[in-house]
Structure 1
Amino acid sequence: MNENHATMNENHSTMNENHATMNENHSTMNENHSTMNENHATMNENHSTMNENHYLIAIYRVHDSTCIRNNH
C-alpha cells in the first residue's frame, strides 16, 4: 500500500508539473497570437502604403507621357 501511495504522489506531482507546463504553453500561445495580430496589422498598413505608391506611380506615368507628348 505504501508503494501505491508513493506512486500516487508521484503521479499527482507529475500532473501538477504537466498542468504548469500547459499554463506556460497557453501563455506563450496567447503572446504568439498577439504578435501575429500586430504583424497582420502592420502587413495591412504596408499593403495600404503599397497601393498608395502604386497609385502615385500611375499618376506620374500619365503625367510623364502627357509631358512627352506636349514636349514639356
Structure 2
Amino acid sequence: MTKTTLELIFQTASGQKVRIQIPNPKQPVDPVSLNAALDLIVSKNCFVFKSGDIVKKIGAQISSSTQTPVSLT
C-alpha cells in the first residue's frame, strides 16, 4: 500500500521551517492552486506554531512511502 503526503513548507518569525502535512492529496497537484493556497495561509496567519507566526512560504513537496506487511508465522 502506498501512502502519499503533500507537505507545505513555511518559515516562521524565528527563522525556523515548519511543515503542514496533507495526507492523500488530490493528484495531480495543480501548481497554480497550490501557490495560491500557500499565499493565503501566509496572509491569513491561520496556524499557530511554537516558533512564531508564518512569515514566508518556502515551498511544497509530495512524499510517498510504500508499506508492505510482513508475515511473522
Query: Structure 1 length normalisation: TM-score?
Result: 0.23
Greater strand share, 1 or 2?
2
Greater helix share, 1 or 2?
1
Query: Structure 2 length normalisation: TM-score?
Result: 0.23
Higher-Rg member (1/2): 1
Question: Which structure is higher in RCO with an 8 Å CA cutoff and minimum separation 6?
Answer: 2
